[in-house]
Structure 1
Amino acid sequence: MDWLYFCIFFAACLGAGVTGGLFPPGEWYRQLTKPVWTPPDWVFPVTWMVLYVCIALAATRVASLPDNGLALAFWSLQIAFNGLWTPVFFGLRKIRLGMAVVAALWLAVLSGMIALWQVDWVAGALFVPYLIWVTIASALNAAVWRLNPGEAQAA
């Protein structure tokens, strides 16, 4: 494994992840009605750290392989949407716009997984847990939108 590549891709993941510290959920989010299946708060940072390692490993595996352009383009797109969701949802408190961002993230992750798989099946498989988690996050965003129509309209 090329550790320099891994460190660069992992730094990009951490750059996206740091938005969680810059825009924490706070009291506004705690006051929202959420579905009963909402994961406890501690699950989010633990899950994201594991996923960021997988996401960085996937990119590292394909970085030096031929025909990796589309896979790395989708990798870049997903990390951009990944970093955008938290400031939109928690920073701006835009639940509907957050739904649009997480939908774009889901499509980018799915497309990235398929493109990575075509270059290196292990890299594509490393995106499977990510797609599952973003599916859960999308459902949670949609449920919060549905359960808080007044907040969704105001924001």
Structure 2
Amino acid sequence: MDFMLFALFLAATFGAGTTGALFPPGPWYEGLNKPTWVPPNWLFPVAWTSIYLLISFAGARVAGLDGNGYAMAFWSVQIAFNALWTPVFFGLRRLKGSLPIIGALWLAVLSCTITHFQLDFWAGLAFVPYLVWVTVATALSIAMIRLNPNQKPLDLNAI
């Protein structure tokens, strides 16, 4: 594995992850009705840090391989949707509006998992925890919409 490539993928993942710092959950999120199975707050940064390390590893392993076009394209798509979801859900408070984004993220992560497995077993395996986490996050997003049907998006005119 090329460590310079790993550093570049790591920079991309943590760049996307900065949306979590820019749009933290805060009191609005704490006030929402949540399902009983919502993960504890401390688990989110632990999970995302681990996932970002794993997918950076996966990207670095595959980036130098022949035939990596689809894998790298899906890697780019998933990190873009990853960066977009947080500002829409937490920043704009658009629960329903975030659902197509997390759906597209899930499809991109599934596609990454498949295309990375086709090129390198370890790279594919590194995407499995991410796929599981995004599956849980998608189910959680759907549950949050159902439990908070009258939740209004952020009024941008009031800012």
* TM-score, reference length from structure 2: 0.95
Cross-structure match for 2:139: 139
Cross-structure match for 2:62: 62
The percent identity for this pair of structures is 57
Q: Distance in 2 between matches of 1:115 and 1:23?
A: 31
SS in 2 for 1:118: helix
Shift of 1:103: 0.6
Query: Number of paired residues?
Result: 153
Cross-structure match for 1:76: 76
Cross-structure match for 1:49: 49
Post-superposition Cα deviations, 1:47-90, rounded to whole Å, max 9, x if no partner, equal 00000000000000011110001100000000000011000000
Cross-structure match for 2:157: none
SS in 1 for 2:117: helix
The answer on 1:114 being equivalent to 2:114 is: yes
The answer on 1:93 being equivalent to 2:93 is: yes
The list of structure 1 runs, each at least 4 consecutive aligned residues, that deviate by more than 4 angstroms after superposition, is none
**Deviation larger for 133-142 or 112-121:** 112-121
Shift of 1:122: 1.3
The answer on 1:102 being equivalent to 2:102 is: yes
Q: Distance in 2 between matches of 1:30 and 1:6?
A: 35
* TM-score, reference length from structure 1: 0.97
Q: Distance in 1 between matches of 2:27 and 2:99?
A: 20
Q: Aligned partner of 1:31: which letter? A: G
**Where does structure 1 lack aligned partners over 5 or more consecutive residues?**
none
